[in-house]
């Protein structure tokens, strides 16, 4: 039981109901996977009620899972909580025989409140404000995202641009999610009846909301109008006519949080389809319109919006609120994800670094724990996933609980569990990434025992695809795996005379045509013959090839490169 507020006006029965406690829903001792606990609550709450005989949600009456965000800027990893948390619950429910629709509302009638420092263009290039007409965006502050022009001049609006980018990420993840535009719902009249309900009994609306917001007084009218003259979403509603579905307004300044947006002073009358409900009413109206059964949301909504939403759903719209779930926010490299500040990582970027199933795995972890997504330490996440996968296939030992968890969750991460799949350890894949020669990559991976002799072709191809990703990771982070063959120019290296003599001998040996093992042997014997430390000779080789102190197993690597280049390089000629 959680007290959301100490305001005595609030309906005690509602807020003490565990099924409506967004912190309690996902915690259940009987399940190893949180989504199972959530599904239990959804079944008992939304299907098993006394006035509902349906035990299974079928085609005609599916369960509805929703998420949603404002299209305020670059869609980043954190936004995918709204989709992937719901996805796992949807999959669990489908596994129990229910039909489930997964929806995502783009809250695109919200106001543009701040200009992000970074934007992404139509092709996902991250650009700064200097690359767009920032002044034009600034003049549109306070207007709906769908009333702000697309800064890249391609799509109909700012809102549509960023919604489309989000949709592209969803498609990349192979998810089946129906997008709903809030603006479209206003424009086509879908919200009419809910607006009429709110504006038709403003006494009731005020009475309910007043328990949560002190600014609600006897004059308060819960509606924003889009000014005909300047487009500002103004809150100064002077008159409401439910019968004619119009509101009159004065375009006054708007204070929204810390921001103030100047109104033009225009007075006019508009259709209710040209305005919007305040968020506190709009959210429950979405539940009512779309029949939402479950909705995950960030902890920012847990204390204000959610309890008031429950109250409004129940007492204003007369519906059951959906089953809720709070998720904690991710950080990126320890810092808050933020579109506006530009500390973001996109799904497209992440998928260049790891397989989709690893990203799914990240989102399958406990929702209430704060987690850091660290690109610097991405190898740890991938290793963890690989281990999880091996637990599922009984390839390694593990504690009972983690095995149970792997058995339950792993099948939800992949299209189809395939025991024959091959995973090259991520950091080793990064080592392989130092050469662009694909046959050499495969040969080294085979030699090191990462690819079995009887491996199917598809498994080899998928395993080697990780090499590209790990290479991208190494280059992006500039870490210790970020080295590449310095083929075009001789690195600036100073070597002792005895080392140089050994290199010359090695070059002559290689020039005669030798295989990898022979060369490897020769490195050791040459070092002995010249009475130098073996590691110094290896180091000299790595410096000449990579400008690094260390590298891959040298003999086989040299053998795979073109002989002419290797000989010349060892002789420090080019």
Contact stretch for RNA (CB under 7 A) within 20-28, 48-56, 462-470, 490-498: 20-28
Nearer to RNA, 383 or 498 (CB): 383
Say if residues 486 and 434 touch (Cβ distance below 8 Å).
no
Q: Which of 388, 392, 483, 509 binds RNA (CB under 7 A)?
A: 483
Say if residues 68 and 338 touch (Cβ distance below 8 Å).
no
Contact stretch for RNA (CB under 7 A) within 21-29, 117-125, 486-494, 558-566: 21-29
Q: Which of 17, 196, 274, 328 binds RNA (CB under 7 A)?
A: 328
Instruction: Count residues binding RNA (CB under 7 A).
Output: 76
Instruction: Give the other-Cβ count within 10 Å of 525's Cβ.
Output: 13
Contact stretch for RNA (CB under 7 A) within 44-52, 59-67, 435-443, 543-551: 543-551
Q: Is 1 in the site for RNA (CB under 7 A)?
A: no
- Distance of closest approach, residue 40 Cβ to RNA, in angstroms: 13
Q: Virtual CA dihedral for 501, 505, 510, 516, nearest 10 degrees?
A: -80
- Distance of closest approach, residue 215 Cβ to RNA, in angstroms: 4
- Distance of closest approach, residue 425 Cβ to RNA, in angstroms: 5
List the x/- string, 187-216, binding to RNA by CB under 7 A.
-------------------------xxxxx
Say if residues 108 and 348 touch (Cβ distance below 8 Å).
no
Instruction: Give the other-Cβ count within 10 Å of 166's Cβ.
Output: 25
Nearer to RNA, 131 or 303 (CB): 303
Q: Which of 96, 315, 371, 446 binds RNA (CB under 7 A)?
A: 371
Say if residues 77 and 346 touch (Cβ distance below 8 Å).
yes
Which residues from 409-468 bind RNA, rule CB under 7 A?
425, 428, 431, 447-450
Q: Which of 241, 550, 564, 574 binds RNA (CB under 7 A)?
A: 550
Say if residues 352 and 472 touch (Cβ distance below 8 Å).
yes
What span, in angstroms and rounded, lies between the C-alpha atoms of 47 and 39?
11
- Distance of closest approach, residue 170 Cβ to RNA, in angstroms: 20
Q: Is 330 in the site for RNA (CB under 7 A)?
A: no
- Distance of closest approach, residue 131 Cβ to RNA, in angstroms: 26
68: helix, strand or coil? strand
Nearer to RNA, 2 or 172 (CB): 2
List the x/- string, 102-121, binding to RNA by CB under 7 A.
-----x--xx-x--------
What span, in angstroms and rounded, lies between the C-alpha atoms of 33 and 405?
7
Q: Is 30 in the site for RNA (CB under 7 A)?
A: yes
Place of tokens 């800027």: 73
Q: Is 370 in the site for RNA (CB under 7 A)?
A: yes
State which H helix or E strand residue 91 sits in: helix 86-95
Contact stretch for RNA (CB under 7 A) within 53-61, 170-178, 245-253, 324-332: 324-332
Q: In what order do the strands lie in the sheet with 275-276?
A: 233-234, 224-226, 275-276
Q: Is 329 in the site for RNA (CB under 7 A)?
A: yes
359-384: b or e for each residue (b if 16 or more CB lie within 10 Å)? bbbbbbeebeeebebebeebbebbbe
Q: Virtual CA dihedral for 179, 183, 189, 191, nearest 10 degrees?
A: 80
Instruction: Give the other-Cβ count within 10 Å of 149's Cβ.
Output: 16
Q: Which of 39, 46, 47, 70 binds RNA (CB under 7 A)?
A: 70
178: helix, strand or coil? strand
């Amino acid at each position: 039981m959680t007290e959301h507020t100490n305001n005595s006006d609030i309906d005690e029965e509602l807020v003490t109901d565990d099924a409506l406690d967004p912190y309690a829903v996902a915690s259940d001792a009987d399940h190893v996977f949180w989504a199972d606990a959530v599904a239990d609550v959804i079944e008992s709450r939304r299907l098993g009620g006394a006035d509902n005989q349906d035990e299974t949600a079928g085609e005609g009456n599916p369960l509805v899972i929703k998420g949603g965000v404002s299209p305020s800027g670059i869609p980043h990893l954190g936004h995918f909580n709204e989709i992937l948390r719901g996805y796992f619950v949807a999959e669990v429910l489908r596994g129990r025989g229910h039909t489930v629709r997964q929806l995502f509302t783009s809250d695109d009638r919200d106001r543009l409140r701040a200009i992000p420092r970074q934007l992404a263009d139509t092709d996902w290039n991250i650009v700064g404000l200097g690359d767009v007409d920032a002044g034009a965006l600034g003049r549109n502050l306070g207007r709906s995202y769908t009333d702000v022009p697309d800064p890249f001049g391609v799509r109909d609006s700012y809102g549509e641009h960023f919604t489309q980018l989000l949709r592209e990420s969803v498609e990349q993840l192979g998810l089946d999610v129906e997008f709903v535009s809030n603006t479209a719902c206003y424009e086509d009249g879908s919200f009419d009846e809910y607006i009429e309900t709110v504006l038709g009994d403003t006494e009731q609306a005020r009475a309910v909301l007043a328990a949560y917001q002190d600014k609600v007084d006897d004059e308060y009218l819960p509606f924003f109008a889009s000014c005909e003259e300047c487009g500002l979403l103004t809150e100064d509603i002077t008159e409401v006519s439910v019968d004619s579905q119009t509101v009159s307004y004065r375009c006054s300044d708007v204070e929204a949080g810390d921001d103030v947006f100047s109104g033009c002073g225009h007075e006019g009358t508009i259709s209710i389809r040209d305005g919007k409900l305040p968020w506190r009413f709009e959210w429950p109206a979405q539940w009512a319109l779309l029949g939402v059964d479950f909705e995950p949301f960030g902890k920012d909504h847990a204390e204000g919006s959610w309890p008031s939403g429950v109250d409004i759903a129940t007492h204003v719209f007369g519906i059951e609120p959906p089953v809720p779930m709070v998720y904690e926010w991710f950080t990126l490299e320890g810092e808050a994800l933020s579109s506006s500040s530009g500390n973001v990582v996109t799904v497209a970027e992440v998928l260049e670094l790891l397989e989709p199933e690893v990203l799914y795995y990240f989102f399958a972890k406990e929702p209430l724990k704060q987690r850091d997504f660290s690109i610097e330490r991405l190898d740890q996440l991938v290793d963890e996933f690989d281990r999880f996968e091996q637990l599922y296939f009984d390839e390694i030992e593990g504690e009972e609980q983690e095995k149970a968890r792997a058995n339950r969750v792993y099948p939800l991460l992949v299209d189809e569990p395939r025991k024959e799949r091959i995973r090259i350890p991520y950091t080793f894949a990064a080592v392989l990434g130092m050469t662009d020669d694909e046959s050499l990559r495969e040969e080294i991976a085979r030699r090191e025992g990462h690819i079995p002799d009887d491996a199917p072709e598809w498994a080899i191809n998928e395993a080697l695809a990780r090499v590209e990703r790990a290479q991208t990771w190494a280059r992006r982070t500039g870490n210790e795996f970020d080295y590449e063959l310095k083929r075009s120019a001789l690195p600036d290296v100073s070597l002792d005379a005895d080392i140089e003599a050994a290199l010359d001998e090695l070059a002559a040996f290689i020039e005669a045509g030798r295989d990898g093992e022979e060369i490897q042997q020769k490195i050791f014997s040459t070092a002995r013959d010249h009475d130098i430390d073996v590691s110094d000779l290896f180091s000299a080789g790595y410096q000449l090839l990579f400008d690094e102190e260390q590298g891959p197993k040298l003999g086989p690597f040299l053998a795979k490169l073109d002989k002419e280049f290797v000989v010349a390089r060892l002789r420090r000629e080019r």
